[in-house]
Structure 1
Amino acid sequence: MKFTKWNFIFLVAGIIVYTADIGVDFWVASKYFYEGQYCWAILILCFRSLSSLITQIFSYQWFKNDWKGTAPGKLDWIFLVHFFQCGIFIRYWFALKYGCQAAFRQDSIGDVSKPDPPNIIQKQAIDVLTDINMLRVFKTFLETTPQLFVQIYILMEHNNHNFYQHAAIIISFCGISFSMVDYQISLRKSLPDKEELQVLPKLVYLFYKLFTITSWILSISLVTVLSVRSSIILLILLWSCGFAWTLKQHTTFCKSKEMEYLYRTVVGIILLFTFFNIKGRKTKACISIYYATHTLVTVGILLVYLFWKPAVIKEVHLTIVSILTILSLVLGIIFLAVYYKYFHPTTYCKQQTFFDEVDRRGGDNMEAGRFQNFIMQ
């Protein structure tokens, strides 16, 4: 796997989008404050703060693990940067540094006479990008998805309609799906026995995530409009099931027990919205049970609306949302079946069971990354 010039271009675009996203969050919160809707403003800021806190914790711990045995002064200023919630920018800096060297074949800045081997530089660039995309997945489901719930709830409950709100909701759905695809791509690069996804598998995977996540979010939004308490109870119940599953899997993603439980907690939140394979094992049975459960819950929610016909939503809205929910669910399952039938790694990619002499010699000095025994499908 190689870190290409296109990867570097998308990395730069990711920095711009991440910075813009911060500004948009504060702009939306200030707009709600200005309109006197303090509850929505506080929710937006709470989601932003929680997401930032958790991603900073994981980012610092990964720096601490990767820089074990280095000068304590380095970790001190790294901790200070993360304390002020700017750790992700340090990671982007290293991504730009290693990515530029890997993509444009530049020598190491430290000592031109002893440049790092190309495979080392490639691994550094891919590993740091994988870490960033993992943190983006955390941010997506700790911040973007809850904010999307708030936007849909306001749209359906209070009948507030404008072009920007609809555009923001559509962009959020796409952003969630793209973050999953980006991570899947970078994860494939970080694992030596996985080949890179081509264009068609990427599109199939994107539509699978986009449609299944859209259907599920719309379903939970309908429950929220019907009863906020019922929605919270349902989410807590489903999160408990996801968290219990992570406990049963005995995950070993983090080096400390406390961080591992935090990781399992976050994975439980991700499992509320999409399937997340955390052990790199066969997923046929697990993913079938997961989406069968989502299908049953979605159908049950629509049946409740069909018989109760709550007055809180106009019938035309209910009809549109119901059609979108069912259509998204059906399309998502179809793309899911196509992906696992034709483009899953065990089918689409040939597993590499050996290394040539050059790769083996270069790999002997490289410690296996934290994603070595981890794959998300």
Structure 2
Amino acid sequence: MSSGLGRTSFTKWNFFMTILGIFSFLFDIGVDLWISIKYFQQELYLFGLLTILFALVSTVIVQAFSYSWFRDDCVEDSRRSMKHVITHLFLAGTLLRYWYAVKYGYQATYDHRRRNREETKQKAVYAMTDLSMLRCFKIYLESTPQLILQLYILMEHGQITVIQYLSILVSVFSISWSTVDYQVSLRKSLPGKKGISVGFPLLFYTFYKFFTLTSWIVSVVFLISCSVYMFAGLVTVLGVAGFCWAWKQDTDFCTTKRMEILYRVVVGIILIFTFFNVKGSKTRVPVSIYYSLRFLNTSGMIILCFYLRPAFARTFIFAVLSIATVSSLGLGIFSLILYYACFHPTLHCIGQTKEDTVDGITHEDQSRINKFIMP
């Protein structure tokens, strides 16, 4: 990986968050197993299998990318390469990356006698950023589909308690915050990029992701409750459209053609749920089109419920969720506009190029993160 970061910052807070990330990763695995067991105990075998399938598919894809990055970074070290092969075959590549992040993070923050501390900080930042990219994959390949499945099950197969509502909201916020965390890590690792300031900039960016994701997830659950086939058709169309858009952008994130195709497929899936800047270019027009279509899709799903599920459409819960869905989308788009109009880092940073004004990047630095999707 390129090392042209210039002066790099890796703080004790970053180290603490890395440690916390390990526990969060292990906790997530435990929750997946617990939920799957609960579904099987309730004789909801299909839902249990789907939960496991989402987790397994996302894990395999994450391992594939993780190993390919290790292979790119360690082309001259055959012994280390073999260790990486074995680790990833046992689906433990993410844990290995956490080990490296903790190792370099500790050396960068606590080992003050170490030489080349700036280089060690760069390694720690790169390790943290790689983990952020892998978490981004996991969020949209596993966590978001599982949340949609959970919402559907609660709506169709049982009463939804206040605690369950709170749990779902926490899950949505967690997904949104993970996306924001990736954005923060992204800007930290890129040379010459000013990070998102704590306060209103971070708050409105979080609001943007939280409200737009909440609106879309509830809308999708409405559609599933109306027709699984319509849901499958919509997801297929949106996924293919996202894949074609990534292909048209001629992404060059991976070093091999097969991994690049897989990357474009994953990007297509991610674009089903939220907007990302696929190749660091100006996105004012694409993001406007994206959320215009999102508004039409959301409205259409709510209208479908009136025609296909009239009994449900007359319930109080449907009225509340419909209003909340439309309001959330409006608040999310408003937060997005406000963030770019008033709080984007480049508005107060003279030294950056105009490409970055819409979360684009320049092409001077060719490190891996420079070619990844950008929130």
- Give the TM-score, by structure 2 length: 0.91
Give the match for residue 30 of structure 1. 37
Q: Deviations over 1:120-179 (max 9, x none)?
A: 112111111010010001000010011011111011112332455333312210111011
Contact 2:196 2:344 in 1 (8 A): no
Q: Residues 214 and 325 of structure 2 are in contact (CA less than 8 Å); yes or no, is this contact kept in structure 1?
A: yes
Q: Which runs of 5+ in 2 are unaligned?
A: 1-7, 354-364
Contact 2:194 2:346 in 1 (8 A): no
C-alpha contact (below 8 Å) 2:346/2:352 kept by paired residues: no
Q: Could you say which residue in structure 2 is the equivalent of 1:43?
A: 50
Q: Does 1:171 align with 2:170?
A: yes
1:351, distance to aligned residue in structure 2 (A): 2.8
| Alignment partners' CA distance in 2, 1:208 and 1:337 | 9
- Which runs of 5 or more structure 1 residues have no equivalent in the other structure? 109-114, 354-366
Partner of 1:268: 268
CA distance in 2, matches of 1:321, 1:339: 26
Q: CA–CA distance in 1 between the matches of 2:301 and 2:209?
A: 21
Contact residue 312 and residue 318 of structure 2 kept, 8 A: no
Task: Quote the residue 2:22 is aligned against.
Answer: 15
Which secondary structure does the structure 2 equivalent of 1:211 belong to? Answer: helix
Residue 370 of structure 1 is matched in structure 2 by 368
Deviation, structure 1 residue 323: 1.2
Query: Residue 125 of structure 1 aligns with which residue?
Result: 124
1:186 aligns with: 185
Corresponding residue for 1:227? 227
Q: Which amino acid counterpart does residue 146 of structure 1 have in structure 2?
A: P
Asked if residue 336 in structure 1 is aligned to residue 336 in structure 2, the reply is yes
Counterparts of 1:314 and 1:30 in 2: how far apart (Å)? 34
Aligned-residue Cα RMSD (Å) equals 1.7
Counterparts of 1:344 and 1:77, CA distance in 2: 42
TM-score, length-scaled by structure 1: 0.90
The answer to whether the Cα contact below 8 Å between 2:306 and 2:313 also exists between their aligned partners in 1 is no
Q: Secondary structure of the residue that 2:279 maps to in structure 1?
A: coil
Question: Which amino acid letter does the alignment assign opposite residue 142 of structure 1?
Answer: L
Q: How far apart, CA to CA, are the structure 2 residues paired with 1:293 and 1:251?
A: 23
Would you say 1:96 and 2:102 are equivalent positions? yes
| Greater Cα offset, 166-175 or 191-200 | 166-175
Structure 1 contact 157–312 (Cα < 8 Å) conserved: no
| CA shift for structure 1 position 279 | 1.1
What's the CA shift for 1:307? 4.5
| Corresponding residue of 1:216 | 216
Provide the rounded CA distance (Å) in 1 between the counterparts of 2:53 and 2:372: 30
SS in 2 for 1:51: helix
Match of 1:83 in 2: 89
Per-residue deviation at 1:306? 3.5
* Contact 2:226 2:304 (8 Å CA) reproduced: no
| Inter-partner Cα distance in structure 1 for 2:145 and 2:372 | 26
Alignment coverage as a number of residue pairs: 356
Could you list the per-position Cα deviations for residues 344-375 of structure 1 after superposition, in whole angstroms to 9, with x for gaps in the alignment?
A: 2432433358xxxxxxxxxxxxx952113546
